[in-house]
Structure 1
Amino acid sequence: MASTPSAPRTRPHVVVVGGGFGGLAAVRKLKRADVDITLIDRHTYNTFQPLLYQVATASLNPGDITWFLRAIRAKQRNVRFVKGIVTSIDHASKTLSLHGDVSVTYDHLILANGVTTNYFGTPGAEEHALPLYKRSDALKVRDRLFANLEEFAINGQDSDLRIVVVGGGATGVETAGAFAEFRNHDMPTTYPELDRARIHVTLLEMAPHVLGPFDEKLRDYARRSLEKRDVDLRLNTAVKEVRADGVLVENDGQQEFLEAGIIVWATGVTAHPSVMDWDVPQGRGGRIEVDEHQRVKGREGVYAIGDISIGPDPLPQLAQPAIQGGKHVAKVIRAEADGKKLPKAFSYSDKGTMATIGKSSAIAEIKGLPKLKGFIAWIIWVALHILTLLGNRNRLATMINLGSKYLFSGSHNAIVGETPYVVSKHKMTITPVEKQRAERRVLERRAASRSREKQTAGRG
């Protein structure tokens, strides 16, 4: 097996697997340490996952939320990058094996490789649902959305289109809210031939509420905000099967099939199956078991941080635990390299959590502040996410794109890709007169729908 080329080395070699929040935090914390670092990732870029749904809903470019991992050498010379996938670990010889007959030796190994989508054994979910965990996932969702809309613009004026989002956590709520706002505010201009009332956004959640970790009042606010945006919110509803044309759900013992053109799977994560080949102890969800210093149990010189790790006190699978865990492990390695006493056991400092439902609507539980909701929480959410992005270019591009979306009501531009050609199911000729008639029919249906809603509200 070939080894990666490297110069003779006398300093300790730290290998970091995963260029996410935790991995990069560890690498940067070791900037001035007397060590050599190798960062390994299957991608050449870091993905800012909290904003993936903005790519999926055509508000951000994928480049806005990705950062070239090799760029880290611009400010840190003791690190190099290797693109690769870990296939196995020989703990006795302290050697990683990567795809392509490449091996990397280490003195200290930090496993920060994250997790992957968990389908919970739901029949058909892996085959037919679209996850939202990687950049490529977000692009698939976006392109599927516009492919469906273009198809309906030609063939579906008298049909319904349903977008189903599975999971009432932050990702699911944010995605459903963004889809609903696109339908409510952009489609009447960009797709005038489609009846908004026939485009449904359905959010499915097994629990009796969305955003479970938040305070009850904030959860209720989020629910009302979704309903205000006409999201078809279905709580206490389990997905029994996913099919190519929709989902089979169950509520209170009653099953129902929801026909859908897009099914986004935004619930649950688990360890990647390849971790089973790494000879490390695994706990709940396949996560790697660690001690109070994030050291992998029974494996000398090996650490695990972030979503892939599980310690004596399980932590939420968020960015902050990964970042803080990465910094702590770096302190441990520096202490060992310098022959000093180890730092105190890792203790997670919860700085709070946030979620947004849409424009001017968010909830936040931030340490030191009262519980926030509405416009103030949304402004904090936007500012924090822009500041947390890697690279000034990404921050500027994201600020411009989100600003044009939220601040300028007359802008209905969407960041789109390629869509397949649509074949009409019946012979048709489109003329200006026909377009006007089609748009007028849509407007008449909308007016009739609003009239029925007012009558229903009046009776209530």
Structure 2
Amino acid sequence: MTDRALPHVLVIGGGFGGLWCTRALAAAPVRVTLVDRTNHHLFQPLLYQVAMAGLSSPDIAAPLRHILRRQRNVTVRMDVAREIDVARRRVRLDGGTLEYDYLVLASGARHAYFGHDEWARHAPGLKTLDDALHIRRHMLEAFEAAERAADPREQAEWLDFVIIGGGPTGVELAGTLAEIARHALPREFRHSDPRRSKIHLVEAGPRVLASMPDVLSERARRQLERLGVSVHLGKAVTAIDARGVDLGEERIDARTVIWAAGVAASPLGAQLGAECDRAGRVRVAPDLSLPAHPDAFVVGDLAAVTQDGKPVPGVAPAAKQMGAHAAAMIRARLAGRPSRPFRYRDYGNLATIGRMAAVVDLGRIRFSGAPAWFFWLWAHVFFLIGFRNRLVVMAEWIWSYFTYQRHARIIIGCRDETVGCPSSGEVDGRRTNRQA
């Protein structure tokens, strides 16, 4: 059988779900096309480290072609999916149309501003490398603007930061930003004192890290406050502008606001003709296929999956397991075997707050503080793709631990305040591709 005669599996999205599905099909009698709008796989759990100048872009990203270079049944295509026709089994891309025998949609999620998309201009979110570089540039420029400001009130506004959302991303951003202001920058400015910065973490719910047990959530809050972060619980954002945020009647003046409060599923999910939940996630069959189209699968953040009465969380381990399961179901169909329901295996939940401060929930085992921080370091280095990435990240963290310094504090790219303004030319000293 020639390659063209083999069943064609089209995978949309090179994140955790799409990549793990593609790799799991390495020995299957199929030809695979992996389509992504970028040329790289991104290790999103460490994206905040790029935003906070701790790591460079290539430290947490690797070219998809390089990752899959030894898998002969895969073609990687950098393109953007625009329209999906599940009845005709075809996907329209910017660069043409592809037909498929099996589809795996793993296009992920995007920022959600709960009906206030106008907030995006003043409160960028963190999903891509472009987002991280934009936030890093804005954060570093805020300290530079404070150094130039002659008016004490203006200087204070530049030194105040608001992070909206008390989930893992918001907590990690707040803790890291507090460390930068307190330890990395104070000796480098002459007319402003970064230690006077105020970092505000705003959460509409009653506690931070709501997915964790109450005891770990409370420990995380206390660790944040020890770092100097002001934690605002039970406070919903009612307005955001260029000078700060409103929490009902309360006003926080700040020139830098970061959004980490919510996500919505990729709009491609709405084209599948299946039922979606309020966040746009597709309600799939137990085996992750579409109820009316068993040849199409949805995995990762785009899939609405419930297990034991609880939704499967939108985290990297879940996306990896879904991708591998979809690949197994494709192999089962090719062999004439029955499908089986997806079952998520929860290996734990962890978040870092700052230097020697983290929380870990492994089910029956829960701990925090320095032991949790070292466990968090080990876990994230272990799951990075590529030996070079692991080595570089470990070296950077060791250097930062002993020196408190962050080597990636370089302001590059355009100064347009539009959210997502891509940096051009060199990024972190290396060439990058603009995201579509």
TM-score normalised per structure 1: 0.85
Structure-to-structure mapping, 1:99-110, within 5 angstroms: 99-100=94-95, 102-110=96-104
For residue 257 of structure 1, the aligned residue among 248, 251, 255 is 251
Match of 1:237 in 2: 235
Match of 1:178 in 2: 176
Displacement of 1:226 in angstroms is: 0.6
Pairwise CA RMSD: 1.8
For residue 57 of structure 1, the aligned residue among 52, 59, 64 is 52
| C-alpha distance in 2 between matches for 1:179 and 1:156 | 24
Assess if the C-alpha contact under 8 Å between 1:290 and 1:312 holds in 2.
no
| C-alpha distance in 2 between matches for 1:393 and 1:151 | 36
For residue 362 of structure 1, the aligned residue among 358, 370, 378 is 358
Displacement of 1:122 in angstroms is: 3.1
**Structure 1 residues 281 and 123: alpha-carbon distance in aligned structure 2, compared to 1, 3 A threshold:** closer
**Structure 1 residues 419 and 189: alpha-carbon distance in aligned structure 2, compared to 1, 3 A threshold:** farther
Q: Secondary structure at the match of 1:364?
A: strand
**Structure 1 residues 290 and 110: alpha-carbon distance in aligned structure 2, compared to 1, 3 A threshold:** same
Assess if the C-alpha contact under 8 Å between 2:161 and 2:200 holds in 1.
yes
| C-alpha distance in 1 between matches for 2:3 and 2:365 | 55
Assess if the C-alpha contact under 8 Å between 1:124 and 1:243 holds in 2.
no
Q: Secondary structure at the match of 2:238?
A: strand
Displacement of 1:123 in angstroms is: 6.5
- What amino acid is the match of 1:103? T
Unaligned 5+ segments in structure 1 are 1-6, 422-460
Displacement of 1:263 in angstroms is: 0.6
Match of 1:289 in 2: 283
Displacement of 1:149 in angstroms is: 1.1
Per-residue CA distance 1:234-280 (angstroms, 9 max, x = gap): 11111001111111112xxxx12211111100011112334434444
Assess if the C-alpha contact under 8 Å between 2:107 and 2:268 holds in 1.
no
For residue 349 of structure 1, the aligned residue among 345, 352, 373 is 345
Displacement of 1:394 in angstroms is: 1.4
Q: Secondary structure at the match of 2:279?
A: helix
Q: Secondary structure at the match of 2:68?
A: helix
Assess if the C-alpha contact under 8 Å between 1:41 and 1:83 holds in 2.
yes
Match of 1:401 in 2: 396
- What amino acid is the match of 2:218? D
Assess if the C-alpha contact under 8 Å between 1:146 and 1:419 holds in 2.
no
| C-alpha distance in 2 between matches for 1:419 and 1:322 | 32
Structure-to-structure mapping, 1:32-431, within 5 angstroms: 32-100=27-95, 102-122=96-116, 124-156=118-150, 158=152, 159-160=155-156, 161-250=159-248, 255-313=249-307, 314-342=311-339, 344-367=340-363, 370-406=365-401, 408-409=402-403, 411=405, 413-418=407-412
Per-residue CA distance 1:95-116 (angstroms, 9 max, x = gap): 110113x011110000111010
Assess if the C-alpha contact under 8 Å between 1:122 and 1:239 holds in 2.
no
Q: Secondary structure at the match of 1:174?
A: helix
Q: Secondary structure at the match of 1:238?
A: coil
Assess if the C-alpha contact under 8 Å between 1:281 and 1:297 holds in 2.
no
Q: Secondary structure at the match of 2:293?
A: coil
Q: Greater CA deviation, 64-73 or 187-196?
A: 187-196
- What amino acid is the match of 1:215? P
Displacement of 1:201 in angstroms is: 0.7
Assess if the C-alpha contact under 8 Å between 2:41 and 2:64 holds in 1.
yes
| C-alpha distance in 2 between matches for 1:419 and 1:90 | 38
Assess if the C-alpha contact under 8 Å between 1:16 and 1:111 holds in 2.
yes
- What amino acid is the match of 1:399? M
Match of 1:446 in 2: none
Displacement of 1:145 in angstroms is: 1.1
Displacement of 1:339 in angstroms is: 2.3
Q: Secondary structure at the match of 1:301?
A: strand
Displacement of 1:284 in angstroms is: 2.8
| C-alpha distance in 1 between matches for 2:279 and 2:331 | 31
- What amino acid is the match of 1:52? L
Structure with the greater alpha carbon radius of gyration = 1
TM-score normalised per structure 2: 0.89
Q: Secondary structure at the match of 1:103?
A: strand
Per-residue CA distance 1:178-235 (angstroms, 9 max, x = gap): 0000011112122243224531111000112111111111111111111001101111
Per-residue CA distance 1:1-55 (angstroms, 9 max, x = gap): xxxxxx8611111111111111111111111111110001111111111111111
Displacement of 1:89 in angstroms is: 1.5
Q: Greater CA deviation, 68-77 or 41-50?
A: 68-77
Displacement of 1:371 in angstroms is: 0.4
Q: Secondary structure at the match of 1:75?
A: coil
Displacement of 1:411 in angstroms is: 4.1
Sequence identity, in percent?
36
Displacement of 1:90 in angstroms is: 1.9
- What amino acid is the match of 2:316? A
Aligned positions, number: 407
